[in-house]
Amino acid sequence: MTIAEQIPNSDITFLRRGEGETAVVFVHGFLDDQYVWDKVVDELSAPGIETIQLDLAGLGDRAGATGPFTYERLAADVGAVVDSVGKPFVIVGQSMGAPIAELIATSRPQRALGLVLVTPVPLAGTRLPDDDVEPFRSLGGDAEGQRGVRQQLSVALSDADSDRLVATGLRVRPEVVRALVDCWNTGLRDAPEPSRYTGPVLIVRGADDGFVTDDLVTGTVSPRFPAAQTVVVERAGHWPHLEQPAALAAQLERFLTDGVTAAGGNTAADVRPQKWTNAFASKSADEFGKAFADDVVLEASVLTRPIEGRDQVMRVMGTASGIYESLVFTQEASAGPRTYLEWKATAFGGVVLDGVTILTADARGRIVRAAIHHRPLGAALRFSTEMRERLTGTDEADHFYDGGERARVEAGPR
């Protein structure tokens, strides 16, 4: 059953289909509307999901919306829908909608289980020269021009879909067309490099897309994400959701079941969810405690000396996990009783930290030693100072950097 809802005191409406604990939010691209996703939504059969579709400002049923038509404004509108739904979510964005989807995932890292970028333009913009971008800016009210662009950039778009897309595009006012082209061509000012979203990412490219090419994806999109998978849909151009909806739905379902894990989306596809990763997802001291032996020892580059004992280490790790805005474990390797986990995280309003954790387990699989290596140094020192402040009044506080000119290093037998 499809339910239409509206954000109070706004012109923002959205469609909800299905029932589940996870929302899959679809963001359409330039000159399109929410209904371009219908065929993909119809193909989805994964249990436990609800799908969300909406029109961006100036497009579709919101063709009469006023500006500004910027990524910040468009993301604010989509964010209002995501917050109204109020569930953990995977967000899917196509072409111009891909940067918007990234901004939503970045600003809501605790609920963003995954990010899917379909034929994505870069967040920093395509940066086409004036002569190349002007034909796009002139598409407002030009039926033949719009049809020509659709045909040039697709290989399996049906006549019916082409006609509907042109009709949809003709609803967009010429001044809005120009503003949206400037938006995706110029991109987000000061777009972060790498991305501040560190959760699972799926990038989908049409094999025959002459606009979002393999060079564009490998050169400017996928390197920004620490845990990105890239797949190619054959016999598809710039609109694989219309040209090959079943194939795109299959990739999306695979991502939902394999790439987005029960650990809250904080492990890449090649990393096993385990007690340590689950504890970071829940940010619970008790969950960390379940993974530890009684005599566990914690070592870290943010510590002035190790911390010993299950109760002490679980309190520290519960506190530390609460500082991260996002965290994903990107690689895993094992050697005997040791597990090596690479990770990437953000904290303090988007400051990027990454590092390696080495876990040593006893014969019963309980962690007896955890060694956490953070980088870069400035972020590690800031993290250590924050830990000291949050643990004020506990015995563990003085194991951290005090924010002075020099960290006090204590040496001696352990």
Position 199 scores a pLDDT of 81
- C-alpha closest to that of 51 among 80, 86, 15, 77: 15
Position 326 scores a pLDDT of 82
Range of the domain at 73: 2-259
Quickly count: other Cβ atoms within 10 Å of residue 392's Cβ: 8
SS3 403: coil
Question: In the chain, how many domains are there?
Answer: 2
Same domain assignment for residues 212 and 302: no
Q: Identify the CATH number of the domain in which residue 345 sits.
A: 3.10.450.50
Same domain assignment for residues 315 and 355: yes
Q: CB burial class (10 A; 0-12, 13-18, 19+) of residue 199?
A: buried
Position 105 scores a pLDDT of 94
Same domain assignment for residues 116 and 86: yes
Does any domain span residue 353?
yes
Could you tell me whether strands 201-206 and 89-94 are parallel, antiparallel, or unpaired per DSSP bridges?
unpaired
Same domain assignment for residues 101 and 146: yes
Same domain assignment for residues 19 and 128: yes
User: Domain boundary at 259, 284, 300, which?
Assistant: 259
Same domain assignment for residues 248 and 286: no
Does any domain span residue 306?
yes
Asked whether 82 and 104 are in contact (CB, 8 A), the reply is yes
User: Domain boundary at 231, 259, 287, which?
Assistant: 259
Position 405 scores a pLDDT of 45
Does any domain span residue 407?
no
Same domain assignment for residues 100 and 179: yes
Spatial separation of the C-alpha atoms in residues 34 and 190, rounded to whole Å = 29
Does any domain span residue 337?
yes
Same domain assignment for residues 210 and 295: no
Spatial separation of the C-alpha atoms in residues 26 and 131, rounded to whole Å = 32
Does any domain span residue 413?
no
pLDDT along the chain (414 residues), means of 10: 94 95 95 98 91 98 96 97 94 98 91 94 96 97 97 97 98 98 94 86 96 95 87 97 97 83 60 83 86 96 96 96 88 92 89 94 92 95 95 95 56 37
Spatial separation of the C-alpha atoms in residues 206 and 231, rounded to whole Å = 9
Could you tell me whether strands 201-206 and 228-233 are parallel, antiparallel, or unpaired per DSSP bridges?
parallel
Same domain assignment for residues 49 and 137: yes
Same domain assignment for residues 211 and 252: yes
Same domain assignment for residues 185 and 102: yes
Same domain assignment for residues 35 and 101: yes
Spatial separation of the C-alpha atoms in residues 121 and 181, rounded to whole Å = 11
Q: Identify the CATH number of the domain in which residue 202 sits.
A: 3.40.50.1820
